[in-house]
């Protein structure tokens, strides 16, 4: 087993006034040749969006984009009709929601914090797809705290596994788990031969395979048969199981 600890303070950072963003991997003006991604995982941005502000309409293609709200709300609107009056999805995501947008052949969207007095704190995650030029699509599901308490809840996976476990579907050879851990709560996750694991602590403190992590820290793991998560203190964590 080989591991690499990425401290919260090692991430890129951008302060745009209305937006404060930490970049786990190279993004926009932050560029580090050693931090271009891990397996299919390309972006984890921890964003804080000021009240009444947001991202104007912009485009993506050939990327699986996941948004995970920690506090506040984020209103999403896109060229597929999501977020529009009468659209298929209301497009507002809140804590506990996992939103997936497959950009495919191309999609335009915007994200906005309409609150007058509350910052929106969320993670945006990009995963490279295993097929290009698919039709754009959107999915949003809620996972209540009880489903993540003391365990790793599968929240995103490829088609068959996502349907079997009630997760959102991503077009990538990847799985995303979310968990909440405190005190004696513990979880194990078996990894198939040759898989990579990326553990990102969203908040609190947690020990993973003997490595202590705090909010914003991440652990890259190669050649490990399993992950063991222990000693959580008000911890929320995302775990990625990725093809090498």
Mean pLDDT of the chain: 96
Cα distances from 65 to residues 62, 86, 116, 137, 156, in angstroms, run: 10, 23, 27, 11, 11
Evaluate the CA torsion angle 243, 46, 118, 53 in order and state its sign.
negative
Rounded distance, CA 76 to CA 107, Å? 12
Q: How far is CA 49 from the centre of its chain?
A: 16
Locate tokens 């009880």: which residue? 146
Per-residue pLDDT at 188 exceeds 80 = yes
Q: Which residues contact 217 (CB under 8 A, 6 or more apart)?
A: 5, 6, 7, 8, 200, 201
pLDDT value for 87: 65
- Residue 154: which of 180, 140, 175 has the closest Cα? 175
Confidence of residue 91 (pLDDT cuts 50, 70, 90): confident
Give percent of the chain with pLDDT exceeding 70. 99
Rounded distance, CA 151 to CA 185, Å? 8
Q: Could you tell me the pTM of the whole model?
A: 0.96
Asked which of 81-90, 161-170, 224-233 is least confident by mean pLDDT, the reply is 81-90
Higher pLDDT, 159 or 185: 185
Q: Which fold has domain 2-242?
A: Jelly Rolls (2.60.120)
pLDDT value for 11: 98
- Total residues belonging to the chain: 244
The string of pLDDT tens digits covering residues 118-132 is 999 999 999 999 999
Mean pLDDT of 207-231: 98
Per-residue pLDDT at 86 exceeds 80 = no
């Amino acid at each position: 087993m080989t591991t690499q600890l990425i401290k919260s303070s090692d991430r890129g950072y951008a302060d745009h006034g209305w937006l404060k963003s930490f970049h786990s991997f190279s993004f926009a003006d932050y560029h580090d040749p050693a931090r271009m991604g891990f397996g299919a995982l390309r972006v984890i941005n921890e964003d804080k969006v000021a009240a009444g502000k947001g991202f104007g309409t912009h485009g993506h293609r050939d990327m699986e984009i996941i948004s995970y709200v920690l506090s506040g709300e984020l209103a999403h609107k896109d060229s597929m009709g999501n977020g529009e009056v009468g659209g298929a999805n209301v497009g507002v995501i809140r804590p506990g929601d996992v939103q997936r947008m497959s950009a495919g052949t191309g999609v335009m969207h915007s994200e906005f914090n309409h609150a007058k007095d509350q910052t929106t704190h969320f993670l945006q995650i990009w995963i490279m797809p295993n097929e290009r030029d698919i039709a754009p699509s959107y999915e949003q599901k809620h996972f209540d705290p009880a489903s993540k308490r003391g365990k790793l809840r599968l929240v995103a996976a490829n088609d068959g596994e996502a349907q079997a476990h009630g997760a959102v579907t991503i077009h990538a050879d990847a799985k995303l788990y979310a968990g909440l851990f405190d005190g004696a709560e513990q979880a194990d996750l078996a990894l198939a031969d040759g898989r990579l694991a990326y553990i990102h602590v969203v908040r609190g403190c947690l020990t993973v395979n003997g490595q202590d992590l705090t909010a914003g820290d991440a652990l890259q793991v190669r050649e490990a048969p399993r992950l063991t998560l222990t000693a959580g203190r008000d911890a929320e964590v995302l775990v990625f199981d990725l093809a090498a």
